[in-house]
Structure 1
Amino acid sequence: MFNDHDIEAALHIVKEVAATEIMPRFRRLGTSDIAEKKSSIDLVTDADIKAERAITDALLRRWPGALIVGEEACETNPEAIGGLKDAELAFVIDPVDGTFNFAAGLPIFGTNLAVTSRGETVAGLIHEPMIGDTLVAVKGAGAKMVRADRDVEAIEVASVVSLSEMVGTISVNNLPFQERSRISGNLAATRMAFAYNCSAYEYWMVATGKVHFIGHHALMPWDHLAGVLIHQEAGGVTARFDGSPYLPGNTTGGILSAPDRESWQMILDHVIAPSRAL
């Protein structure tokens, strides 16, 4: 079982790498330090690569033999995602979630780290390098914010409100134009829609009750595993669009987070439907 002592060790690794490999490069990247992956908005930087390598090395020193699934490593070895279903212990890393923002000098990015065991997420953290605060959850133990000064406070999701009072986002950047237009139009039924282009910040907002819902169609594990556990441990409901639980290894089916099941269904029916299977 991954316990509080273990998550403390993982948090120490993430914070150290943020301080040594990520923040020194923020707003200091040269043209040669940024490259496109699949498109002009899908980027990788020198910070992503070096931070992932440093986190991986440190995790393996602490937990030899663990499976490491990193976003950048999976560019060349996507089969590693499949290993999450059976691995006794695995770490899933997104060293700089929100790379487009990071490369643009926008201080909205974070580090995601999830811990899985035999196809179940057992711990997760989202670290905010700019301020040094971190959201942390161990399965069954609730969710908390660990501030840079080590002060700790419990977190919880937003109270239930009507659709017209909800604030949230559905990520549509990877959808065809017609679907982007339809869902964006449906969001007008809510109080306010926002977009940070950063899963780490979106899960931070929904798990701490600052917004009511977030939704995504793309399900890469480094974007979602840590945030989903933190949101659930903060009292929220997260599931794929067909209502099934989101598990390590799932990469299709869409995902939606809300304060409770009724709110979840409301957003699905009035904002996302009818394209639930995308």
Structure 2
Amino acid sequence: MSFTVRDAQTVAEILREAARTEIMPRFRHLSAGAIRQKSSAEDLVTDADEAAEKVIAAALRTAFPGAIIIGEEGVAARPALLDELDGAELAFSVDPVDGTKNFASGLPLFGTMAGVIVRGEIVAGIILDPVGGDWTIGVRGEGSWTENPEGVRIDLKVEEPLAVNKMSGTASWSTLPEPLRSTLCANLARSRSAANYRCAAHEYRLISGGFSHFALFSKINLWDHAAGWIIHKEAGGYSARFDGSPYLPGHRDGGLLYAPDKASWEALQAAFFKGTEYGA
């Protein structure tokens, strides 16, 4: 089946409506009981996450009958849901509130994401900024762009590559095992700077729009990365897992590194992973 730009815009409107009704009314209005811990103090879920995912899933099933919905909170409740991706004609990955820690802290740096997988291949991605009201879309073969509710569109292009010591980006490394974690953190100093915004949605917008050079992620949950992966790719970027193998939606480990092109990816990978199992 084909997934068109119009289909992607339909998904964007679904995300926008869920943000309007379920996410933004709860922003900075969460009671203590509306914020709950999952695996750690950094891994939270709120009433907004759960309510928005239900609304998004229902709307996607109506708009795209027969589609499989793989949402972050749905998988948390039933891990076997991930197995339904295998053989699915059409599947959506959904992260209702990416950057939940920021959201729960009252920090306006969070996003709502949906990735589109057709027969095992990522073909589209949508990232909504609920605070700003605009969204970023990438569709295979159609490029990627940011669009506001009035329909004004800005095409995206990744930053020009530079030497490693002149490139800035973002890095999420907290879940890596030792000694990889400590060695990587030391090696990140080879770049100009490496920040962490606790929100993949906005980090993907930065690298896809040419506002940062690289992004590194230690966890590769489908709902966190399917949308951003295709948006970055359609903006001209290059990415792979830490060992250089291509990222696929079924992958659950191996990390991800993004760069402006293959040559700069190889330079970053060599610099960041020197002295580790992934490097020399």
Q: Which TM-score band (shorter chain)?
A: over 0.9
What is the CA-CA distance between 1:178 and the residue it aligns to?
4.1
Q: Is the 8 A contact 1:85 1:248 kept in 2?
A: no
The number of residue pairs the alignment matches comes to: 277
Amino acid aligned to 1:225: A
Q: Is the 8 A contact 2:90 2:118 kept in 1?
A: yes
Q: Is the 8 A contact 2:121 2:249 kept in 1?
A: yes
User: Which stretch of structure 1 is more off in the superposition, 184-193 or 27-36?
Assistant: 184-193
Aligned positions of 1:111-126 closer than 5 A: 111-126=112-127
Partner of 2:168: 167
**Which digits, 9 at most, give the CA deviation of each residue in 1:1-54, with x for residues without a partner?**
011221111111100111110011111100000000001110000000000000
Partner of 1:262: 263
Q: Is the 8 A contact 1:131 1:148 kept in 2?
A: no
Q: Percent identity?
A: 45
What is the CA-CA distance between 1:225 and the residue it aligns to?
0.5
**Residue 140, structure 1, aligned to residue 144, structure 2:** no
Distance across 2 between alignment mates of 1:171 and 1:8: 30
Q: Is the 8 A contact 2:124 2:227 kept in 1?
A: yes
User: Compared with structure 1, are the counterparts of its residues 34 and 224 closer, same or farther at alpha carbon in structure 2 (3 Å cutoff)?
Assistant: same
User: Compared with structure 1, are the counterparts of its residues 239 and 189 closer, same or farther at alpha carbon in structure 2 (3 Å cutoff)?
Assistant: same
Distance across 1 between alignment mates of 2:23 and 2:277: 38
Partner of 1:154: 155
Partner of 1:55: 56
TM-score normalised by length of structure 1: 0.96
Partner of 2:99: 98
Aligned positions of 1:1-278 closer than 5 A: 1-176=2-177, 178-273=179-274, 274-276=276-278
User: Compared with structure 1, are the counterparts of its residues 37 and 217 closer, same or farther at alpha carbon in structure 2 (3 Å cutoff)?
Assistant: same
Amino acid aligned to 2:82: I
Distance across 1 between alignment mates of 2:278 and 2:3: 34
**Which digits, 9 at most, give the CA deviation of each residue in 1:195-215, with x for residues without a partner?**
101111111111111110001
What is the CA-CA distance between 1:82 and the residue it aligns to?
2.5
**Which digits, 9 at most, give the CA deviation of each residue in 1:126-169, with x for residues without a partner?**
11011011110111111111123320011000001011110012
Moved over 6 A (4+): none
What is the CA-CA distance between 1:184 and the residue it aligns to?
1.9
